[in-house]
Structure 1
Amino acid sequence: MQADRDFQQMLVAERTLLLEGLSDKQRKALADDYFTNKQQVVDRFKKYTVLGDSPKEIEISKKFNEGLEAFEKTAADKFPLDKEGNIRKFSKAELITNSLGPVNSKFEGARDSLDQLQELILGMGDEEFKEADETYSNSIFLMSIISIVSLFGSVGICIFMARRIDGRINNIVESISNEGQNLENVSNTFKNKSVALSSISEQLSAAATETSSSLHEISQMIKSNTDGSNNVASLIQKSQELVTDGVKSLGDLGRGVKDVENSTTTLANTVEKSNSELNEIVKVFEEINVKTQVINDIVFQTKLLSFNASVEAARAGENGKGFSVVAEEVGNLAKMSGESADEISKLLVDSLKKVTDIVDVSSRDVNESLNLSRDKINKSVEISNQCQEVFTQVLRNFDEVSANSNEVANASKEQLIGVEEVSKAMQEISSSASLTSQSAHDLNTASSELSQAVNHIGEDITDLKGLIIAQIKSARHAVSNVVNFNKTKRNAETKKAA
């Protein structure tokens, strides 16, 4: 029973290590409790295997050792606990699954063998009690028969078989004495068994009380853990909603960036179109410049013609004066036209240079701005995509955490149900221990009464033996008197006849 209690303490320590919020000191204390109880199971069972020698005990002991080895191997693989109370190989959900699955299966297998051994020991105790009770009943019946036979038969046969009956009665008395001694041994055995049973009951009651207290604390911790898991699940759900809104906002931002990129491309096309139109204007300026040069040539030729006309008018004298005035005015007009053409040419050159510079600067600046905008837009799109991927991954992680949190909450609820069932079982065990203690007390009392009865029977046997011996002596004396009387009577009759 103590080994079974140590097994239960191991299970409590293992399940408690799966709780959240434990400090390093608490984890180390639980690990020490786990390994200490495990070693106590091994040590107690080794002590018992030295005492248990029946074939059934040997068979169950072998089965328990095999189950214990399978449990230790599975626990080392699926629940690798170190001396500090750390388990780093698996996640919390995997540890819960392993603890409730393969590790618990091997644990219950070994524990079933231990329960079978306890049932075997209790059964053997019951059989010994039944055998002792049967021996006592047979002895009482045998003594009753012998007493009746001795009382009623001795009177009839003591006259004829005094010597033979004397020997047989001595043998019977000796046999009854031996049976009385056997009853006394059985009574002592009952006393020892009752003392051991009372001690076991007290230990079981104390263990049940201690376990009930531990189960109450564990129940409170599981309830607190369940409430924490529910709060975490609520926070995770709210965070999921926020992340979902963030993902939608990032999607809107990405579409907005795409719209900006499209607008930038449209602006670039518009600027490029404007530059193309400015280039067309530059071409018009160039054509005007060419036409202006043609005008300058015409002005030069007009001046030349005006000069020639003035020369011819001078030669004509009075007749050429009017023509000379016309030639002079034509020359002035040609001069004014030339000056205007020069000014137009200068303006065209300046305008052409300014327009060309504007087109070049505008094209360069717009291209640089467009390239910079494209780079920033591309980076913004890339960052937006990365953020969206991160938020998506965070959302998946939230889903996993939410699932794990729900699993932990469900596991906590199942553990709470299991703890409540174990608590009820421990209360029943405590009640059974009280009943067992009372039964042990009653058995001790019955053993004392049986011992007193055996002593009384021994005294009665001694008295009966003395009485039988006295009756035998009396019978012998009576027989002797009868013989002597008959002998005297025959002698008298002989003398009378003579």
Structure 2
Amino acid sequence: MKLNLSLKQKLLLSNIGLIVVFGLVLLFQFNNALSQQKEEIRNGFNNSSSKLSSNLSQSFYKFYHNVQAISKNESLKGDDKEKISFFLNELVSLYPNYDFMVLTDLDGNYKSSSSLSPAGDKLSVSNIEGSNFSDTDWFKAIKTGKLTEDYEKKIYGSHFSEIKDSKIGKLLYGESKKGFYVTTPVQDEFGDSLAILTTFVGVRAVEESILELETSLKEEGKEGALIRVVGADKLIASNDATEVALTPMSKLKFEEDDNKSVEGFELPWAKSRPLVAVEKIDDKRFLKDLDWEVYVEMDSTEAFQGINASKNFFGVSFIISLILSAVVAFFMSRALSNRMSKAAESVSSGSDEINQASGEISDQAKLLSESTNQQASSLHETVSSLNEISAMVSKSASHSQSSKEMSSRSRESANEGMKTIEQMLEAIDEIASANTEIVEQLNTNSKEMQEITNVIKEIEDKTKVINDIVFQTKLLSFNASVEAARAGEHGKGFAVVAEEVGTLAKSSGDAATEIEDMLSKSIDSVNKIVENTKSRVDGLVEKGSAKVEMGREVSKQCKKALEIILDQSSNLDMAIEEIATASVEQSQGIQEISKAMDQLNAVTSQNSDIAKKVSNGTNQLNQQAEKLSFVSMNLNKMVYGKKEKINESNEVKEQISDDNKVIKFEQRKPVKKEAPLPVEDKTTVNGAEAAFDSDDDEWEDL
């Protein structure tokens, strides 16, 4: 029989089923994890016996060989009792686990001993002085050579006794002392025995190891553990104060609980097995013949206290979680069902809107097609205009490039003119310098001509002197003639000489006169030449300087004009460059716009095609809307079960056209659609805001 359940009932049953399955899986995994955790605790607990066994074997090895090391001291080989006692006291204070040490001769007679306890208290040594220990077990073992040895483990040379009450200890301390005798012979360098040394190790050495293990277990959260060390079926030491050492007893306190354990998966009602760790001490540092065993036990209730608490907490939490999950599943199913029913109603009403919208889309598609055609024609005209503008911009760019080249050539010519003007200014400066040098040279020549005039004047002065000499010579010749006349015949020769001298004086005077006339004329000529030359040169120099200055001014004005031309040319080049760059950029921009317009034209064509496709798709959308109405009816049936709930307000009026077989729907007034709020879950139906109702009423019913 097929059950027509509503969506609410289906969701509720599915959620409850999932919760139950998930809970069972979680319960199994949790119990399995607890079992693994218990096994890990047991495995960790088993290591505790190994730890204690290792510590005890190490202590045994130390005490066994310490006595041999002590026996090799030279003070023990002598007869000085005080010296021996002092040495033994030092050892007892250094190793507090030793209660006392005794040294005897080979016959067992007391020789010396420690006189202080490990705490520094004096011992009653007088009680054992003069005693003979030949009847003690440790002395007999040394004398008979029955040592506790194992050559394979390299343990030999000493005797280690069983735990016992020491009679010597009672005499020294006045109270019973339990422990072990460790004895060895004192030998000389040839191996001959000289004496026998025995050390008594108190049982507290074992108790300290037990206490150390107990502390370690407490730090791990394992309190209440029972720790025992048994030797030869007798208790050596325990952490239980009620147990007495050296008494035979049951080795396992919780042994009866072990038979009630369940291997593997532990059921919740099964009692947990106790924690037991047993190990016989037998390693390379311990003698197997001593038969020591270590027992570490713990009640599982104490060991698994945290796990049991977690189990109880999980059980309570699991039950509460199941109840809460069922309640939440109920309300979630109810709320989801309500939302699905409202969604079904929304789908039903939405199909009406789809039919109405398809008609509107068809009309808008036609309008879109017409507008795209108009837009395409406008785009063609725009593209043509852009092409013309692009051609004009290209020509402008070409002209600007030509102007730039002409401006560059003008600027180069101006630069060359500037260089020529600068060269002309340099030449004018050189001419001015040359004129200055000419004036200076003329002044120098004038001075030299003046010097020539001075020389001529000096010659004239010398000529006057010559005239004076000529005059005096004439006068002398006349006087000589007079004297020759007076002499008569005797003075004729002298008269001839006087006449010749007179003639010569006259010739000299005439020549001097001519020279004087010539010098006078020369001086006048030189002075005139100097004055005329100076006046002419001064005039020429003055005119040349004026012309040079005028040329300099004109050259400077030309230079300024050329500089202005160069500046204007540079500015013109920059302007032409900017125009050319702008023209190129405009050309590129127009090309980009042209490309964009081409693309826009293509898009417009695509839009036109799409509009046609939309118009065709609208007809198909009407057909799909009819199918959506059928799906909406099935959705209502699924949500409400047997009853098919249809909202009467959302019914549509269908009219089937015989011409095109397109479904037409009743037109409705358009309503402004609002976006859904971010917090509340709302949906728009027929353009109006249709929100899902809250579940407050359902919570109030609960």
Taking structure 1 as the reference length, the TM-score comes to 0.44
Taking structure 2 as the reference length, the TM-score comes to 0.33
Which is helix-richer, 1 or 2? 1
Which is strand-richer, 1 or 2? 2
- Higher relative contact order structure (alpha carbons within 8 Å, sequence separation ≥ 6): 1
